[in-house]
Structure 1
Amino acid sequence: MLHHIAIVGSGPSGLFCADALLRQRPDLKIDVFDRLPTPYGLIRCGVAPDHQGTKAVTRQFDRLFGGGSLRFIGNVTVGTDLPLARVAEHYDAIVLALGAHADRPLGIPGENLPGRYGSMAFVGWYNGHPDFHALDPLLDRSGVAVIGMGNVAVDIVRVLGKTPAEMATSDICSHAAAKISGAPLTDLYMIGRRGPVEASFTSAELAELGRLDRVRPVVNRTDLPDAIPSGLDPADARVKEKNLQILHEFASRSDDKPVRLHFLFHTVPEAVLGNGRVEGLKLKGQDAPLTVGTVISAIGYRTATIGDLPPADERGVIANTDGLVAPGLYVVGWAKRGPSGTIPTNRTEAKSVADRILADFADDTAPAKSGNAALDAWLRQQGLVAIDWAGWKRIEAAEIAAARQGSPREKLILWEDLRRIGATP
């Protein structure tokens, strides 16, 4: 029986799921929907622009789209433009691979002052997400505080701390590169409520901070234990031991560089201070506030509820049992488990959900549904302009052609440009 599957979201979790499905059932017809005119979700708009190796997984997905069984349908928002109930009429299974695109609030006074940004918006700004191209963050003071001790926080301070030469081979957007290179930065702060052992950054990303041309990590040795606690999971223990080793090495440094990166462990922000804009950050138990002109919170994301899509809880998780939300409706990735893990984390989980879908198909005696042809006709009737794979390739070609020397691309950052190039053969 020919089955049709709709995947909502073209980030790594959705595409790993598509890959796992097609490896077992190459006869499947799968449509991947995305509200953006461009595919790859987190890989394109979330992975740091100087981590091109991490982005290389898109080559695998390129081959997947070229196989004939997988279609890209961009510039269509499932839940509003295209109600989920309408999708369910035409597809035998729907997989929600929504990711998490809403910043968690800090919940402290002053967080709405100009100069305070969530990491989703700030990272989206320098990564060319069309929702955030006009953010124009305040970076006109010497100090920037990043609240959080995970890899996203590490990415932000690294991108802020690198020189233009260090960023030359990245795909950071030109408007962001110019703003950052012109910023008078002397002090960056990474602030975490917990200690160095509990911090969630990984060792490779932490070690990178010690190799920056103009940045010196500053760690208070009294914040560092001599060893990690006993009884930890062995894999987790190895990461924490390595992190502690790196932090001890940072604490021993005395090199003189123009930008200092301060690690503030066991530190709780109490209020963002300022008169009309961010001017400081009050920390619990400390009389003198940090003098900063920018505060960026990197404390996690939530899955936003869109139209008639199932709502997410306070953790950003859509209620599910091992990926099953309701008969014929599944969820993968951050919307399934919460915003945690790296891109490869999604591979194993996506395969388990794919296995469940195929097992459910084996037990299903209902006739297969109409699939993409009927839905395409409905989209045209609604006047919705979908960007297909050929449209994405036109966008990609335009970005590559506009790249500055050494950079792989110069991303299109305006909705109108993406839609115009993507929709025009």
Structure 2
Amino acid sequence: MIKKNLFRLSWHFWRRSQCRNYCSTADAHVGIVGSGPAAFYTAQQLLKGCQNLKVDIYEQLPVPFGLVRYGVAPDHPEVKNVINTFSKVVNNDRCSFVGNVSVGKDVSLAQLKEAYTAVVLAYGANSERCLNIQGENLPNVISARNFVGWYNGLPENQNLELNLDVEDVAIVGHGNVALDIARILLTPLELLKKTDITEKAIKALSSSKVQRVHLIGRRGPLQVAFTIKEFREMTRLPKSRPVLDPDDFKHLADYLEDLPRPRRRLTELLYNTAVKPLEKDQKMWADATRTWHLHFLRSPVEILSEGLSIKGLRLVKNKLEGPIKNNPKAVSTHETIDLSCGMILTSIGYKGVKIDPDLPFDHNKGVVANENGRVIGVPGLYCTGWVSRGPLGVILNTMTDGIDTGKLILKDLKDNRLEVNKPGKDVIIKKLKEAGVQTVSFDDWKKIDSAEILKGESAGKPREKMVDISEMLNLVTKETS
């Protein structure tokens, strides 16, 4: 017991010495732009790594948590449990949340840099990539980002115009977001009503005529971007069954042994679903009234229409060039086929945006110009998460990004590369008040949170999200006065 206690004491002092080695004796203030996973994991690492450091998290919306709140599918509540961890971070006395502040508009990047020892850009990928084909601007051609924001209650997407009075929907993309959208379109309404999907979305989906969802990918089964958990969930979707062409999968048996384990498990599930499904699965699918289809080696080249009404999607057949297991390239064969559909959702990737004129930005990649997290040519400015490396990976990948960025800033503090004794949020809050900007604290968010949960209880839901920013701000003002 004595040895164990001595070990713990030694470990405690060693950890404290590490903090002292990383930090200046002077106070350091770090401002973080964005309040999603990348922001919170960066803040968590900074607060753990230095006892003298303070962190302020700025968010454009009045509410925190970014894509955890507005991107995670409503029927995946377990993924949102990470909010509990984030809440512990911001409840630290050395951390604060400043919501309803648009960096680049309400406050400039130059003003933040002047107020903070370091500024971290962690605002994600707020735009989407385009198909760049004829008909893309027609009604009922909708980006995945906007559709997900619509059913998840993102205020900017609540006026989205969509027509679900169609039997066939085409989704361009083979990633997890594409599967999320397909699942939301096909899930029985009585199941969705128990989630935090918005009441507006429930009302629209209740009159949906969608019977078939087509997921279109430019490459083959070995290159799909979705994960095994999401695909398995689709195969077990009540009242729906998969439609996969066995010819797309028969050759996969030749490659299974050489694949990395995660890819092998996914490929085996794809193969078995298409070629030799289990008897229990066949029984489950027997009473299906809806179907979902995986289409491979297809790329959209034109949206077919009559007037403003979508009639279909013209697809070009592709072939793969290069080793099939080593990221082969999809090459057009110029042979086309037409897929009948009345709605098209594009899930081909997000991209970051330039939020401030002074921000070095790589427009081709849609990311802040950086070298390993340090923004090029701007000392004291960092970036992390999707705005740093592009929209790849899941929350676990973003956690790694945040931790690495936090360690990088701590190292730069240790090496005296950063200026300390900056004023932090006080000077920024003063400027915002002078400009008439109403800020939202984390305590204010708790009032919004409580109101949403209370409203959800009456409907048998975890919460009913507020979808209007004015309503959020009015609630905060009313509760405060």
Question: Normalization by structure 1: what TM-score?
Answer: 0.95
More helix by share: 2
CA distance in 2, matches of 1:243, 1:19: 39
- Equivalent in the alignment of 1:354: 406
TM-fit CA distance, 1:312? 3.5
TM-fit CA distance, 1:240? 3.9
- Superposed counterparts of 1:227-242, under 5 Å: 227=253, 228=255, 232-242=259-269
- Equivalent in the alignment of 1:78: 103
1:318 to 368, 374, 379: 368
Structure 2 CA distance for partners of 1:213 and 1:310, relative to 1, 3 Å: same
Q: Deviations over 1:6-25 (max 9, x none)?
A: 00000001101111111112
CA distance in 2, matches of 1:310, 1:397: 40
- Equivalent in the alignment of 2:345: 296
Structure 2 CA distance for partners of 1:249 and 1:80, relative to 1, 3 Å: farther
Structure 2 CA distance for partners of 1:147 and 1:414, relative to 1, 3 Å: same
- Equivalent in the alignment of 1:332: 384
CA contact (8 A) 2:354 2:368 kept: no
1:408 to 462, 474, 479: 462
Structure 2 CA distance for partners of 1:233 and 1:139, relative to 1, 3 Å: same
2:91 to 66, 69, 77: 66
Structure 2 CA distance for partners of 1:3 and 1:243, relative to 1, 3 Å: farther
Structure 2 CA distance for partners of 1:371 and 1:242, relative to 1, 3 Å: same
- Superposed counterparts of 1:13-412, under 5 Å: 13-224=38-249, 225-227=251-253, 228=255, 232-248=259-275, 253=282, 255-274=286-305, 275-284=307-316, 289-308=338-357, 309-325=359-375, 326-364=378-416, 366-403=419-456, 404-412=458-466
CA contact (8 A) 1:271 1:282 kept: yes
- Equivalent in the alignment of 2:14: none
Does the residue aligned with 1:296 lie in a helix, a strand or coil? strand
Q: Deviations over 1:276-295 (max 9, x none)?
A: 13221112257662221110
CA distance in 2, matches of 1:261, 1:26: 53
Structure 2 CA distance for partners of 1:245 and 1:288, relative to 1, 3 Å: closer
Question: Which shifted more, 68-77 or 123-132?
Answer: 68-77
TM-fit CA distance, 1:423? 3.8
More strand by share: 2
TM-fit CA distance, 1:104? 0.5
What code does the residue aligned with 1:197 have?
Answer: L
CA contact (8 A) 1:312 1:335 kept: no
CA contact (8 A) 1:143 1:185 kept: yes
CA distance in 2, matches of 1:338, 1:373: 32
Name the Cα RMSD after superposition.
1.9
CA contact (8 A) 2:256 2:267 kept: no
Does the residue aligned with 2:303 lie in a helix, a strand or coil? strand
Q: Deviations over 1:394-425 (max 9, x none)?
A: 11111111115331111111121122223441
- Equivalent in the alignment of 1:7: 32
TM-fit CA distance, 1:229? 6.2
Does the residue aligned with 2:252 lie in a helix, a strand or coil? coil
Structure 2 CA distance for partners of 1:368 and 1:232, relative to 1, 3 Å: farther
TM-fit CA distance, 1:238? 4.4
CA distance in 1, matches of 2:390, 2:275: 31
Question: Which shifted more, 232-241 or 98-107?
Answer: 232-241
CA distance in 1, matches of 2:276, 2:370: 44
Unaligned runs of 5+ in 1: none
Q: Deviations over 1:267-313 (max 9, x none)?
A: 12111111213221112257662221110000000101123333243
CA distance in 2, matches of 1:349, 1:413: 30
Are 2:440 and 1:421 equivalent residues in the alignment? no
Does the residue aligned with 1:165 lie in a helix, a strand or coil? helix
Does the residue aligned with 2:174 lie in a helix, a strand or coil? coil
Question: How many residue pairs are counted as aligned between the two chains?
Answer: 425
CA distance in 1, matches of 2:121, 2:77: 27
TM-fit CA distance, 1:381? 1.2
Question: Which shifted more, 227-236 or 407-416?
Answer: 227-236
Question: Which shifted more, 359-368 or 216-225?
Answer: 359-368
What code does the residue aligned with 1:360 have?
Answer: D
Structure 2 CA distance for partners of 1:247 and 1:306, relative to 1, 3 Å: farther
CA contact (8 A) 1:386 1:423 kept: no
Does the residue aligned with 1:330 lie in a helix, a strand or coil? strand
CA contact (8 A) 2:140 2:161 kept: no
Q: Deviations over 1:358-378 (max 9, x none)?
A: 010112274421111122211
Question: Normalization by structure 2: what TM-score?
Answer: 0.84
CA contact (8 A) 2:168 2:340 kept: yes
What code does the residue aligned with 1:415 have?
Answer: I
